[in-house]
C-alpha cells in the first residue's frame, strides 16, 4: 500500500473522525447493558446468594494503558482503510479488499469496540462499527460469484451481507457481556486476561473460537433471517461460500476440531470464565454459556456506527470546526 500520500487528509480526518460517524438514534449506554446483566443474574436463583454484596458497577478500574494502545491500533486500521479508498480513487479494488480480508477477516467490514476499553472514549466510543463501502464492494462480488446462481438479487445479497457483518460483531458484544457476567460473579475484572491469555494467542488459527463461533452464530441467526427474509438454506449456501474465503478461525466455523459448535460453545465459555486456553472442564448450563440469543439480550442496547470514508460531512460554516475543537 502507498504510504504517506494522503497523510494530510488522514490527519484531518482523524482529528474530525466523530464527524464521519453517524450514530443510530435511540441507542442506550453501557450502564444499561451492565444493569441488564445484573438484572439477569438477580432473576436467577442459582446465583442469588453470590449477588447479595453486588450493588455497584463491576467495571470500575479501566486499564488506561491498554485502552490507549487499542485506540492506536484502531486508528491505524482507519489509516489503512482510508489509504485503500483513496489509492483506488473512490472505489475499492477487489484485490485490495481481499488482501485486507486475508489480514483482518470479517473485521475488514465492521468492528466491535468493547465497553471495557472504549466506554470513556469520545473519539471512538464503544459499539458496533460498520464500513459500508467495504460491505457493498464485497457484496457485489459475492453476488456475481455465488448469489446470482442461488437466484438472489444484488440488493438481497447486499442486505444479507450487511446483516451478517452486524450479527458477527454483535456476537463479540455478547462475549463481552458474558465475560462481564463472570466479573460480576467473581468480583474481579477478567475480560483483559481472557484477551491476553486466550483470544490473542489463539488468533489466526483454527483454535480461535471467538471468531469461529461468531460465524457459526451468523449462519444460524434468526436476526439475519427476520431482516433479510432469505430462506435459511439459501443464506447458508451463500455465507458458507464466503466463509471459505476467510482466514483461519473464521473459516473454522464448523468447529470440527472441537466436535461441533455446541461443544465448542461450552469450551469457549470455560475459556472466558477461567482465562485459559485449556480450562478445567465445567458443566455448562444456559447461564454458563455465551448467550447468542438475539431476543433475551436486546441488541438494541448496542450503539451502531456507520463509518463513511467517501462522503465528507458538509458543514454550514467554519464555526462548526471551531466549536468542535
Ligand atoms: Zn470478529
Where does the chain show beta strands of DSSP type E? 21-23, 110-113, 127-130, 304-307
Rg over alpha carbons for the chain, rounded to the nearest Å, is 20
What pLDDT shows up at residue 292? 60
138 Cα: distance to centroid of ligand 1 (angstroms): 16
Per-residue model confidence as pLDDT tens digits over 209-248: 999 999 999 999 888 888 888 999 999 999 999 999 999 9
SS3 136: helix
Percent of the chain with pLDDT over 70: 59
CB 42 within 8 A of CB 316: no
**pLDDT band at residue 298 using 50, 70 and 90 as cut-offs:** low
Where do the domains of the chain lie? 7-324
174 Cα: distance to centroid of ligand 1 (angstroms): 12
What pLDDT shows up at residue 202? 95
35 Cα: distance to centroid of ligand 1 (angstroms): 25
DSSP state of 298: T
State yes or no: pLDDT of 19 exceeds 80. Answer: no
Measuring CA to CA, how many Å separate 43 from each of 47, 97, 269, 294? Answer: 9, 46, 20, 19
218 Cα: distance to centroid of ligand 1 (angstroms): 11
What pLDDT shows up at residue 289? 72
168 Cα: distance to centroid of ligand 1 (angstroms): 6
318 Cα: distance to centroid of ligand 1 (angstroms): 38
State yes or no: pLDDT of 296 exceeds 60. Answer: no
| Helix 132-142 and helix 232-243, axial crossing angle in degrees, nearest 10 | 100
Percent of the chain with pLDDT over 90: 31
101 Cα: distance to centroid of ligand 1 (angstroms): 11
190 Cα: distance to centroid of ligand 1 (angstroms): 20
**pLDDT band at residue 249 using 50, 70 and 90 as cut-offs:** very high
Average pLDDT of span 63-79: 49
C-alpha dihedral sign at 295, 296, 300, 306: negative
87 Cα: distance to centroid of ligand 1 (angstroms): 26
Task: List Cβ<8 Å contacts ≥24 apart for 268-272.
Answer: 268/209, 268/210, 268/213, 269/178, 271/194, 271/198, 271/209, 272/175, 272/178, 272/179, 272/182, 272/194, 272/198
Per-residue model confidence as pLDDT tens digits over 92-108: 788 888 988 998 899 98
Count Cβ atoms within 10 A of the Cβ of residue 36 and give its class: 0-12 exposed, 13-18 middle, 19 or more buried.
middle
288 Cα: distance to centroid of ligand 1 (angstroms): 21
50 Cα: distance to centroid of ligand 1 (angstroms): 32
Q: How many CB atoms lie within 10 A of CB 233?
A: 9
Max mean pLDDT range (44-53, 118-127, 254-263): 254-263
DSSP state of 25: T
192 Cα: distance to centroid of ligand 1 (angstroms): 17
Contacts of 156 (CB under 8 A, 6+ apart): 147, 228, 230
The average confidence (pLDDT) of the chain is 74
Average pLDDT of span 27-40: 64
250 Cα: distance to centroid of ligand 1 (angstroms): 8
239 Cα: distance to centroid of ligand 1 (angstroms): 15
Per-residue model confidence as pLDDT tens digits over 139-193: 999 999 999 999 999 989 998 998 899 899 999 998 988 888 777 666 666 788 8
Nearest to 82 by CA among 304, 314, 310: 310
182 Cα: distance to centroid of ligand 1 (angstroms): 21
**pLDDT band at residue 284 using 50, 70 and 90 as cut-offs:** low
67 Cα: distance to centroid of ligand 1 (angstroms): 19
Rounded to whole angstroms, the Cα distance separating 113 from 125 reads 7
304 Cα: distance to centroid of ligand 1 (angstroms): 15
Rounded to whole angstroms, the Cα distance separating 235 from 218 reads 10
What pLDDT shows up at residue 27? 42
Rounded to whole angstroms, the Cα distance separating 142 from 146 reads 6
Rounded to whole angstroms, the Cα distance separating 191 from 221 reads 25
158 Cα: distance to centroid of ligand 1 (angstroms): 19
Average pLDDT of span 242-264: 95
Average pLDDT of span 104-121: 83
53 Cα: distance to centroid of ligand 1 (angstroms): 35
72 Cα: distance to centroid of ligand 1 (angstroms): 19
Measuring CA to CA, how many Å separate 322 from each of 18, 21, 22? Answer: 14, 18, 20
Measuring CA to CA, how many Å separate 45 from each of 57, 240, 269? Answer: 20, 40, 20
169 Cα: distance to centroid of ligand 1 (angstroms): 6
pTM assigned to the model? 0.77
Amino acid at each position: 500500500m502507498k504510504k504517506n500520500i494522503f497523510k494530510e487528509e488522514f490527519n484531518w480526518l482523524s482529528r474530525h473522525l466523530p464527524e464521519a460517524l453517524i450514530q443510530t438514534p435511540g441507542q442506550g449506554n453501557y450502564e444499561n447493558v451492565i444493569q441488564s446483566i445484573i438484572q439477569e443474574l438477580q432473576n436467577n436463583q442459582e446465583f442469588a446468594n453470590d449477588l447479595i454484596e453486588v450493588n455497584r458497577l463491576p467495571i470500575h478500574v479501566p486499564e488506561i494503558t491498554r485502552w490507549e494502545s487499542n485506540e492506536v491500533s484502531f486508528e491505524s486500521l482507519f489509516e489503512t482503510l482510508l489509504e485503500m479508498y483513496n489509492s483506488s480513487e473512490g472505489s475499492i479494488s477487489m484485490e485490495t479488499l481481499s488482501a485486507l480480508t486475508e489480514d483482518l477477516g470479517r473485521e475488514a467490514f465492521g468492528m466491535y469496540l468493547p465497553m471495557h476499553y472504549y466506554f470513556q472514549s469520545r473519539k471512538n466510543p464503544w459499539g458496533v462499527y460498520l464500513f459500508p463501502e467495504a460491505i457493498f464492494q464485497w457484496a457485489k462480488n459475492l453476488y456475481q460469484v455465488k448469489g446470482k446462481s442461488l437466484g438472489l438479487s444484488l440488493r438481497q445479497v447486499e442486505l444479507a451481507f450487511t446483516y451478517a457483518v452486524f450479527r458477527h460483531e454483535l456476537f463479540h458484544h455478547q462475549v463481552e457481556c458474558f465475560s462481564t457476567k463472570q466479573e460480576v460473579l467473581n468480583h474481579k475484572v477478567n475480560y483483559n486476561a481472557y484477551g491476553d491469555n486466550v483470544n490473542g494467542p489463539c488468533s489466526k488459527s483454527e483454535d480461535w473460537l471467538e471468531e469461529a463461533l461468531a460465524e457459526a452464530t451468523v449462519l444460524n441467526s434468526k436476526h439475519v433471517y427476520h431482516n433479510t427474509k432469505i430462506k435459511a438454506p439459501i443464506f447458508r449456501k451463500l455465507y458458507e461460500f464466503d466463509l471459505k474465503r476467510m482466514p483461519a478461525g473464521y473459516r473454522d466455523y464448523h468447529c470440527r476440531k472441537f466436535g461441533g459448535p455446541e461443544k465448542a460453545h461450552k469450551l469457549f465459555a470455560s475459556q472466558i470464565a477461567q482465562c485459559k486456553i485449556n480450562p478445567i472442564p465445567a458443566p455448562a448450563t444456559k447461564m454458563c454459556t455465551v448467550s447468542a440469543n438475539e431476543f433475551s439480550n436486546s441488541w438494541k442496547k448496542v450503539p451502531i456506527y456507520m463509518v463513511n470514508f467517501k462522503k465528507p460531512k458538509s458543514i454550514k460554516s467554519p464555526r462548526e470546526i471551531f466549536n468542535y475543537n
